[in-house]
Amino acid sequence: MLLRRRSTEETIEPYPIRVGVFVCHCGTNIAGVADVPALVEAAKQMPDVVHAEDLQFACAKSSLDRITQVIKEKKLNRVVVASCSPVTHLRFFQDSAKRAGLNPYLVEMTNIRNLDTWVHSDRKVATEKAKDMIRMAVAKVHHMVPLSTIKLPVIKRALVVGCGPAGLAAATGLAGAGIETILVEKADECGGMLRRLNRLEPEGIEARKLLDRMVEEAREVGVKFMLGTTIKDVSGFTGNFHVVLSNGTELDVGAIIVATGAKPYIPTEFNYGKDPRVLTTLDLENGKAVDGKNVAIINCVGSRTGGRGCSKYCCAVGLSKALELREQGKNVVLIYRDIMGVDPEVEDLYKKARDAGVLFIRIPRKAELTEAIKMDSGKLIVKDVELGDDVEIPFDNIVLNIGLTPSEDTDEVAKILRLSKDQEGFLMESHPKLGPVDTMTPGIFIAGAARGPKNVGEAIAEGYAAAARALMMLAQGYVTKEPFIPKFDWSKCTKCGLCIKACPYNAIRGRSW
């Protein structure tokens, strides 16, 4: 069923053509390489351009308001914005045009940042290329015509994949708002990594009590649990996804939230798994005891190395374990690159650990752990940045403070849903600021450790954020589809069928000949 679009008030006539060009500085991303004033002057000489100006940050609210104002004042009926990627920013300029009374499909962006100034360092070359790109965009808008969007009804049902803290939060948020919600979990019980933890730092909350409370809240609002189940196939489009589960169930849902979590890094450094004196912070959480008197805690094991970033939560864990061991009467040395106290509570932990007598030794920030720290029977030889020399630290036990890595579940779901991943293998959001829980496929959202290492509090917050984004679409009752429809040129089609396999939306049906 197709719903007719309610017409918006478009007060600006599309003809005769009057083009406005706006060139963005993007800080120094564009202006630091290309000659922006020269681009504006060149644009003024192009066919049917009646206005051209530069903006410091075209996507800033003040600049968007300025574009709206100029469109109204000068009756612009074609707009070219020379700035960054239309994938992330075109909608903002289209909204500015709509507010001015101009059909939003008469706005064109040309990406002179990613495709020009980020590529070329020569100012003259970059400027000339940018002129050509603006010239092409101006030529293109002459062929653009007003279009109308269409509205398709959505299925008011959501699927959440993963029953960790992020998944439980997302499912609870949606079900609590009256949306039928199905939560699918591969394991036979909920919790994910949370089941393997004892106490959450820096808050000091008992992990099991938190998990039990979250599961109870989800059940109270009507979340339907399917444990021991995975997704096998997903087809359809935004607001109308058809999902096949491993238990044979088939569902039609309007939105999907992926919260498949992450897994702990398994160290190979410092003879872990071979030397019984070497433990991990997760081992301590799971009840393994530190028998020796002298304990060395090593931060950043599995993080900030080999292309992997900071796991963020580890510093709070390391400080907590150092304080806990110190209170047991141990001599504790914490070896670190940086203490990433992203929360005030982490700073408090650091002060408590320092006051309790924990010794802190900083190693070179960019050095590999196994280069800056050498094991020699019962002692560690550590490069101390503050002293500028090696120091010897006797140890009875070593505790490796480990980070998180992408889980196999995340990899499987990414393949089925065709989701992008970053260089570490975590799911990638559509934009770190403008769409932190959105994906490039509208209607599919991500949350929690599946999109990168974080503590439980952040994972829960992202779960609720993903639920809010999904609810915006589901509560509206329809999705707006772009009016761009491909046309086949059958005279050039060889019937190879490769387009069927390549289409990321499974929108093309047929068979190869």
Concatenated DSSP letters of 381-422: EEEETTTTEEEEEE-SEEEEEE-EEE-HHHHHHHHHHT--B-
What count of residues does the chain have? Answer: 513
Q: For residue 393, give every residue at least 6 positions away whose Cβ sits within 8 Å of its Cβ, in sequence order, or none.
A: 294, 296, 333, 335, 361, 379, 380, 381, 382
β-bridge partners, 402: 301
**pLDDT given at position 270:** 92
Give me the pLDDT at residue 6, please. Answer: 36
Per residue, what are the HEC states of 413-445? HHHHHCCCECCCCCECCCECCCECCECCCCCEE
With tokens 């980020």, the residue in question is 118
Place of tokens 């550590």: 382
Q: Which CATH superfamily is domain 269-402 in?
A: FAD/NAD(P)-binding domain (3.50.50.60)
Can you tell me which residue has the tokens 């992020």? 166
- Structural domain spans, the chain: 19-141, 157-263+406-481, 269-402
Kindly state the DSSP code that residue 270 receives in the 8-state scheme: G
The pTM assigned to this predicted structure is: 0.76
Q: What is the pLDDT of residue 230?
A: 95
Homologous superfamily (CATH) of 157-263+406-481 is FAD/NAD(P)-binding domain (3.50.50.60)
pLDDT (0 to 100) of residue 2: 38
DSSP string, 330-371: -EEEEEES-----SHHHHHHHHHHHHTT-EEEEPPTTS-HHH
Span 141-157, pLDDT tens digits:
999 999 998 889 999 99
19-141 carries CATH number 3.40.50: yes
Q: What is the pLDDT of residue 504?
A: 66
Asked whether the beta carbons of 353 and 334 are under 8 A apart, the reply is yes
Positions in the chain short of pLDDT 70: 1-8, 504-506, 510-513
Calpha distance 147→340 (Å, rounded): 50
What 8-state DSSP symbol labels residue 308? Answer: -
Q: Say whether 29 sits in a helix, a strand or coil.
A: coil
CB 355 within 8 A of CB 318: no
Asked if domains 157-263+406-481 and 269-402 share a fold, the reply is: yes
Q: Which tokens belong to 316?
A: 């709070």
Inter-CA distances, 156 with 80, 182, 222, 224, 463, Å: 38, 12, 15, 15, 18
The C-alpha atoms of residue 285 and residue 441 are separated, in whole angstroms, by: 38
**Residue 248, both tokens:** 């044979």
Kind and range of the H or E run holding 214: helix 207-220
